[in-house]
Structure 1
């Protein structure tokens, strides 16, 4: 089995995983609250088969077999173009509203695997293990989540200081099979309904904190792995009434590792800061950001069309103040697309033959959180009270009230009342519903905080370039002596 159907994906979740939602532990395969989410994620697996010519490629190690394009090891610009086409098609399944579809962590893992040179700063056996795991993910077409942020509950202390030092994931023992880990991690989006949980760095850690320097993967069902879910925002409604909330609540979980045994075969880094502190910067700015930029681009395309549709259904699209807002959204889309193309055109070998887009792609981390929040604000402004005065689509079929709705709630310019309702309900679910609000918050911290991203970009700029333009200007202008 190299490519799974949606039914096979759901069957793989029937195990004894420890998932807690609301007041109790649940079975994710039977809990009615998760039914829409499971069907939505199953649809993703069926989608990649329906668009196999874009989403699947020939498996280089298994003659006649196919594999997800997100698991390729990119070795050329042509590989990146091929992967870009596949990732864009996958993003169009949810129009960017699913932030952690399996292709995200697939791209992360493949980038890590492609950069063998980074792992050779430590024991090469760890990369051998990683490559075997990468093969396992291909063969099983596994759905992976990740959890990479330390459980820094006390924001007044360092990530690994004070009470945080006892709360976050670390090594507490070992046996003949592997290491024993204990502690919490944030945030496993998709975690309750994934197959594997991949733990890797989000940021470097200082010398003296080696016990926290861990990279490994274990099945979600592993004994001692516990997932604490937030409230579920998926609702039992028709796709017409809740196009996103009915299918695309991917769930988020705080993960507790309660003396979990990590087999040595699944342990890729333990205490080696030379490896741990180099992996993220050696892969993420180009490789991982290609997937995230593509998803953002697809979402902004949808958002622009949605905003335009709202304006047309209310006959406000020609008003200057509305056109300004529509142009603003389109500008975000155009910049995202341009940055993505430029980074792919400047792709190069990052090491060990791994070809990733240029690291300047990472600038989107600094601006995308603000853009996504602003887009939702614009949708709510354009929709205004109309977002709160929209009936269910099913109500139009009611003989007692249907004609009255068509008379009093039509769209402008001859747009039907039903089409007006479809647009407004889609807009509300995108930017105003419980799930829409969750996604907005998620976008704000999608790749870490915006502040950290900006600090990181500044530090890299100072490290990689000489900035003497001001002094040069002053010297040439006679302000300073030459």
Structure 2
């Protein structure tokens, strides 16, 4: 089938999906003001005739058709680099469709356990690719009492589970939290949140289901309200993608959409595959954001006449070091890629996890440098309406003046971006996302220990100590 137009994408959302926001059930999200900006954001990714990014959004499939590059399975380093470039110019509402990269990366292992599941993964991947659909990464369960396993909870539904097995499919019940763009995609791709024990077969489940499937309900929350002024909110006004609290109220899933149904040995493998691609996406955003921090810090210094001050220069140097460590880490992960038995290339597991850990562990400290340079004006700057007001505006222009060549309005825009990125709607969201997206710091620690060549490190340490490494 041909690629969708932006208008066809919008029309495809009028499918009876059950969506709530701020206490209201919204029957048609395409006409509701809360969804206007996020829909526009995803809609832009369907502009294949865009002279700037249209070509980057497309690739030719193995059968000669054209599809969105989010579906391209990387086969070499060049493919990975092109994918990273595409991710820099794509909305999160499309990027979450990368969940199919996670599934395709474990298809070989899944196929060995149950050939039907491998065939289902391939079929659903091609179905979404060939129909130009978008899919969400649906992984995190409520989890209840964290001291107890899924099967030990007071309420057995606190982890999504199979409640009935039929000849034609399974019935599932539960909820998944923090699901970015859930209301704006076409398919919900459900993965286990973690590894499962032998007695937890009903919780080892993975599948893909349409957003409008009977029993699916989505409760939304976003970083900010609708119709924000882009002058005052330069980040939040363009990046307010809703997060979904997705309920599966006895949802029927046909067998041809099931990727896992009780095979506990595969649960952790599926969960980890998504973590890798989520963290890769997080690193792409981290590189972009850290470069912005450097530019904003330098602009503040220059506008205040402090660009030669050694203290402010040191702060900028710290921001540069952070930005370059992230950029080099992502580059290293792509150049030292790994490969599945079927030839799919994916970023180096250890490198991506180490990079994500460094990014998250140092994010709050890094933002502190920017706040220290910006000062209180980051929070107390008047709004654009006060600048445009003839009476109040003259005072703002007078007292925000610093020196010749510094435009007051430009200075306000710089400070507004610092506030919005780090101390307001989008900034508050980002403070949590930097730590939690793709799993918190413990998740990266676990993956680093698993993927690091510990035997080699121990042998070298013993050799350096003068001991026999073979003992």
- TM-score, normalised to structure 1, is 0.88
- Superimposed CA distance per residue, residues 341-397 of structure 1 (whole angstroms, 9 cap, x where no aligned partner): 222222242321112232222212322212333333333222221123323334433
Does structure 2 conserve the Cα–Cα contact (< 8 Å) formed by 1:146 and 1:187?
no
1:83 aligns with 2:75: no
Deviation larger for 370-379 or 119-128: 370-379
Counterpart of 1:36 in structure 2 is: 37
Shift of the 288–208 alpha-carbon distance from structure 1 to 2, 3 Å rule, reads same
What is the root-mean-square deviation of aligned Cα atoms in Å?
2.7
What is the alpha-carbon distance in structure 1 between the residues aligned to residue 402 and residue 438 of structure 2? Answer: 39
Tell me the residue number matched to 1:93. Answer: none
Pairing 1:375-390 to 2, within 5 Å after superposition: 375-390=366-381
Q: Work out which of the residue numbers 405, 409, 414 in structure 2 matches 1:414.
A: 405
CA drift at 1:143? 2.2
1:300 corresponds in structure 2 to 290
Deviates more, 1:465-474 or 1:344-353: 465-474
Q: Where do residues 108-123 of structure 1 align in structure 2 (5 Å cutoff)?
A: 108-123=99-114
How far off is 1:109 after superposition? 0.6
Q: Given the alignment of the two structures, is residue 361 of structure 1 paired with residue 361 of structure 2, yes or no?
A: no
Aligned to 1:167: 158
Secondary structure (helix, strand or coil) at the match of 1:468 reads: helix
Distance 1:6 1:302 in 2: 29
2:204 to 213, 227, 230: 213
SS where residue 53 of structure 1 aligns?
coil
Question: 1:101: which partner in 2?
Answer: 93
The unaligned stretches of length 5 or more in structure 2 are none
The answer for the alignment partner of 1:453 in structure 2 is: 444
Counterpart among 253, 258, 270 of residue 261 in structure 2: 270
Q: CA deviation at 1:452?
A: 2.5
1:111, distance to aligned residue in structure 2 (A): 4.0
CA distance in 1, matches of 2:377, 2:147: 43
Question: What's the counterpart of residue 126 of structure 2?
Answer: 135
Residue 95 of structure 1 corresponds to: none
Which position in structure 2 is the counterpart of 1:55? 57
Q: Cα deviation per residue 1:125-177 (whole Å; 9 max; x = unaligned)? A: 21211111111211222222122122212234335432364321000013343
* Residue of structure 1 aligned with 2:333, choices 324, 343, 355: 343
Query: Please, what TM-score do these two structures have when normalized by structure 2?
Result: 0.90
Give secondary structure in 1 for the equivalent of 2:56: helix
The match for 2:318 among 318, 323, 328 is 328
1:183 paired residue number: 174
Superposition deviation, residue 115 in structure 1: 4.3
**Contact conserved, 2:17 with 2:213, CA < 8 A, in 1?**
yes
Deviations 1:420-449 (A, max 9, x none): 111111111111112320221122101111
Note if 1:23 corresponds to 2:23.
yes
Query: 2:390 aligns to what SS in structure 1?
Result: coil
* CA–CA distance in structure 2, aligned partners of residues 315 and 429 of structure 1: 23
Q: Which moved more, 1:226-235 or 1:241-250?
A: 226-235
Q: Does 1:198 align with 2:189?
A: yes
CA distance in structure 1 between the aligned counterparts of 2:456 and 2:450, rounded to whole angstroms: 10
Which of 287-296 and 266-275 deviates more? Answer: 287-296
* CA deviation vs aligned residue, 1:168-195 (integer Å, no higher than 9, x gap): 1000013343110001222211112222
The equivalences for 1:231-270 within 5 A come to 233-270=224-261
Which moves more between the two structures, 170-179 or 75-84?
A: 75-84
Q: What is the Cα deviation at residue 326 of structure 1?
A: 1.6
Contact between 1:227 and 1:255, CA under 8 Å: does it hold in 2?
A: yes
Whole-angstrom distance in 1 between the partners of 2:271 and 2:454: 17
How big is the shift at 1:324?
Answer: 2.1
Deviation string, structure 1 residues 179-222 (Cα, Å, up to 9, x no partner)? 10001222211112222211113432222211111111111111
Q: Partner of 1:447: helix, strand, or coil?
A: coil
Q: CA deviation at 1:468?
A: 3.4
> Residue 433 of structure 1 is aligned with which of 412, 424, 429?
424
Consecutive unaligned residues in structure 1, runs of 5 or more: 91-97
Q: Conserved in 2, the CA contact under 8 Å of 1:178 and 1:261?
A: yes
Change (3 A) 1:261 1:75: same
CA deviation map 1:211-256 (0-9, x unaligned): 1111111111111111222365134233222122222111112221
The CA distance in 2 between the partners of 1:262 and 1:308, in whole Å, is 54
Secondary structure, aligned partner of 1:149:
coil
Give deviations 1:294-323, integer Å, cap 9, x for gaps: 222122222221222222222333322222
Over 3 Å counting, the alpha-carbon distance change for 1:157 and 1:279 in structure 2 is closer
Residue 19 of structure 2 contacts residue 26 of structure 2 at CA under 8 Å; is this kept in 1? yes
Query: Are the aligned partners of 2:189 and 2:207 in contact in 1 as well (CA < 8 Å)?
Result: yes
Contact 1:144/1:198, CA 8 A, preserved across alignment = yes
Conserved? CA contact 1:152–1:160, under 8 Å: no
8 Å CA contact retained: 1:146, 1:188 = yes
